[in-house]
Structure 1
Amino acid sequence: MTATILSTDLIAALNAPAVPGLIFRRFRGPSDYPHMLAVINGSKKADDIERSDTLEALTNNYDHLERCDPYRDMVMAEADGQMIAYNRAFWDQQEDGTRVYSVFGFLLLEWRRQGIGAAMLAHGEARLREIAAEHPRDTPHFFQSFVAGGEKGAIALMESAGYVPVRYEFDMKRDLSEPFPDTPMPSGLEVRPVKEEHLRAIWEADNEAFRDHWGYVPGTEIRYQAWLKQQDFDPSLYKVAWDGGQVAGAVQNFVNKQENEEYTRKRGYTEGIFVRRPWRKRGLARSLIVQSMKMFKEMGMTETGLGVDAENTSGALRVYESCGYRQVKKSIIYRKPLE
């Protein structure tokens, strides 16, 4: 599918469904954010997705985009002047050289099964082909899309368009009323309160540790600044292990207060878990996770949650299960060759 500018920002999509009042247009800037947020919130229940997005978080995300020009790489769908869907295309280069050209989107339930999602996916792929045409073809390159397990329509759309699952991620949960395992800190390491001057070292240690992970994309200064401005960013909750002046590992805990309120729960997240190579296989991750769970229980939380790559080569899934976490949901990373 190709796209042509008709007027200021309208897009003519070939093979677009003949839905009365439907138009496709380009991104108009921050004035679109509230309408995008409404589409996210309006679609999540149908897709069995629990998320509580805010205008602040959305703005921070779009203030720190990389390898994406939203004015060229997004398409918005409107029906009779109301936004009903949008998608965005972007690309990344993994440290191993692989280039991934990603597209994702949201579509309100009442407008599904009319060909709108398929037209928008085709538009995103066409834009990504334009971008890829400017890149060398000296490394593997793929289309990619991340789909939550409850997004049945998106799963059907991806698979009908030739995408295949290449990786799975699990959402896991842990009931804090259950006993905690005994997980002493490894000898010579200590947990210290995080100070502002520690943040860069924690960020760099995190990036170093994740170099071993599938799909790793090197961190950048833009991503560092976005991390600092995350809505739930609270380093006072972190559990960071130090070996002298070096960060050995950490759990970057946070509480999503809006999400807890929306879903009437008391959950803390034990996320951003990493251990650098010299300190692995000593029980450090388990110790930091259990310390984090005990902290959350003292704060009045009743459960903790995290996400994990189901095929993580460091054995993260086994570690989390040994701490009492159990899978509650699954998401899928789809790919197909970019010819």
Structure 2
Amino acid sequence: MDATTNRPMTELDLVFRAWSGGPDAIEMARVSNAANLAEGVDHHNTAEQLANYFSHPGDHFDAARDVVMVEHGTAVVAYGWHNWIDTTDQVREHRLAGYVDPEWTHRGIGRQLLGWLEARARASVQEHPTQLPAFYGSWADEQRVGKQVLLEREGYAPLRWFFDMRRDGLDVVDVTEMPDGLDIRPIGTDRVSLRRLFDADAEAFQDHWGGFPTDDAAFEEIVNDPDFDPSLHVVAWDRDEIAGAVINAIPRAENEALGRRRGWLESVFVRRPWRRRGLAQAIVARSLVALRERGMDHAMLGVDADNPTGALGVYARAGFVVVKRAAAFRKPMEVSAP
């Protein structure tokens, strides 16, 4: 029986195959955008973005092993991927994600895809041994009811909530003074400067729950993204030290596809020695101005609902309001001895 409708599931002759690069990115964009539209998720992928996202192999992720395309006949009906991270709460989390074409839902494809990804995660544990407890992890926006039902039915539990916040009215922004001794200067566009900013961001987020890859592959994925534009970043300096920054982006293809003028504060961070001085408020405000000057009429950001550094208060004071919730799910992994 299907987990969301209690209807009988049709047995399908499915083929699970490896990712083949650019042509598959086109199909990925088609499937994910159809799923987003059907579930009311206001996000739009392009083949170029997806090809970049999956094209930088490293220890944590290699598309040759970690991406799967699901076909029925000649049609791509779903796809998924796996990566892993040693989290700040001291577990090895194997993150599983994917999409099913809405024309093919309620037929058990999502359950079979999840099973393939879990098997890949177990193999990855053997390839990258660890003493940390191993978990499967996944993510579901609140609109993705079917995915939440599937995850909970398969033994996953929501562990942490995250918010998307929106700030309208960029024509009115209260720009606070910079803390004493700090100033705003551009970041260089050379690889050394950009890697320095990337590493400062990673360092600041060591205090936050979860974590993200910080290796060379993750850096290359970011700087090769079609929307990457360091001229939008707002970087605070204490002489020659990066004190904090906001990594801003304008998703131009998505904006065009969805008919809007949205900018994202993709990462807001302040390093430990410069916290509790009002720096976050100052660089967030300057980011809103930077997006306004590029023609945007609203801004978005994501935040951990239990952020330990007071970020929710900073964003609320800057005029952001919560517009969407999403949950991080986990399930313990039973790992066989090698």
Shorter-chain TM-score above 0.5: yes
Aligned to 2:25: 33
Letter of the structure 2 residue corresponding to residue 132 of structure 1 = V
Aligned to 1:276: 271
User: Paired residue for 1:48, among 34, 37, 40?
Assistant: 40
Q: 1:305 to 1:208 in 2, by over 3 A?
A: same
Structure 2 segments unaligned to the other structure (5+ residues)? 1-8
Matches within 5 A, 1:220-239: 220-239=215-234
Letter of the structure 1 residue corresponding to residue 157 of structure 2 = V
Q: 1:178 to 1:64 in 2, by over 3 A?
A: same
Q: CA deviation at 1:134?
A: 4.9
Q: 1:240 to 1:32 in 2, by over 3 A?
A: same
Matches within 5 A, 1:252-263: 252-263=247-258
Letter of the structure 1 residue corresponding to residue 265 of structure 2 = T
Mean CA deviation greater in 132-141 or 116-125: 132-141
Aligned length, in residue pairs = 322
User: Paired residue for 1:138, among 118, 131, 142?
Assistant: 131
Letter of the structure 1 residue corresponding to residue 17 of structure 2 = R
Aligned to 1:122: 115
Aligned to 1:309: 304
Question: Identical aligned pairs, as a percentage?
Answer: 39
Matches within 5 A, 1:176-191: 176-177=169-170, 179-191=172-184
Q: CA deviation at 1:121?
A: 0.9
The question of whether the paired residues in 1 share the 8 Å contact of 2:28 and 2:79 is answered with: yes
Quick check: 1:170 aligned with 2:140? no
Q: 1:130 to 1:244 in 2, by over 3 A?
A: same
User: Paired residue for 2:331, among 316, 332, 336?
Assistant: 336
Letter of the structure 1 residue corresponding to residue 238 of structure 2 = D
The question of whether the paired residues in 1 share the 8 Å contact of 2:89 and 2:209 is answered with: no
User: Paired residue for 2:69, among 76, 83, 103?
Assistant: 76
Instruction: Tell me, in whole angstroms, the C-alpha distance in 1 between the residues paired with 2:52 and 2:265.
Output: 22
Q: CA deviation at 1:70?
A: 3.2
Q: CA deviation at 1:159?
A: 0.7
Q: CA deviation at 1:186?
A: 0.4
Instruction: Tell me, in whole angstroms, the C-alpha distance in 1 between the residues paired with 2:119 and 2:164.
Output: 32
TM-score (norm 1): 0.89
Q: CA deviation at 1:218?
A: 5.2
Q: 1:155 to 1:95 in 2, by over 3 A?
A: closer
Aligned to 2:52: 60
The question of whether the paired residues in 1 share the 8 Å contact of 2:170 and 2:289 is answered with: no
Instruction: Tell me, in whole angstroms, the C-alpha distance in 2 between the residues paired with 1:322 and 1:300.
Output: 23
Mean CA deviation greater in 217-226 or 41-50: 217-226
Instruction: Tell me, in whole angstroms, the C-alpha distance in 1 between the residues paired with 2:172 and 2:62.
Output: 49
Instruction: Tell me, in whole angstroms, the C-alpha distance in 1 between the residues paired with 2:84 and 2:30.
Output: 25
Quick check: 1:251 aligned with 2:243? no
Give CA-to-partner distance per residue, 1:85-109, whole Å, 9 cap, x none. Answer: 1112222223554201121110011
Instruction: Tell me, in whole angstroms, the C-alpha distance in 2 between the residues paired with 1:255 and 1:193.
Output: 17
Give CA-to-partner distance per residue, 1:251-286, whole Å, 9 cap, x none. Answer: 111111112112221112122111000100011011
Aligned-pair Cα RMSD in Å: 1.9
Q: CA deviation at 1:296?
A: 2.2
Q: CA deviation at 1:326?
A: 0.5
SS in 1 for 2:245: strand
The question of whether the paired residues in 1 share the 8 Å contact of 2:166 and 2:321 is answered with: yes
Quick check: 1:160 aligned with 2:153? yes
Instruction: Tell me, in whole angstroms, the C-alpha distance in 2 between the residues paired with 1:199 and 1:74.
Output: 28
Aligned to 1:109: 102
Mean CA deviation greater in 248-257 or 124-133: 124-133
Q: CA deviation at 1:178?
A: 6.7
Quick check: 1:300 aligned with 2:292? no
Q: CA deviation at 1:72?
A: 3.5
Q: CA deviation at 1:172?
A: 0.8
Aligned to 2:260: 265
Mean CA deviation greater in 259-268 or 240-249: 259-268
Q: CA deviation at 1:76?
A: 2.4
The question of whether the paired residues in 2 share the 8 Å contact of 1:94 and 1:218 is answered with: no
The question of whether the paired residues in 2 share the 8 Å contact of 1:172 and 1:327 is answered with: yes
Instruction: Tell me, in whole angstroms, the C-alpha distance in 2 between the residues paired with 1:250 and 1:72.
Output: 35
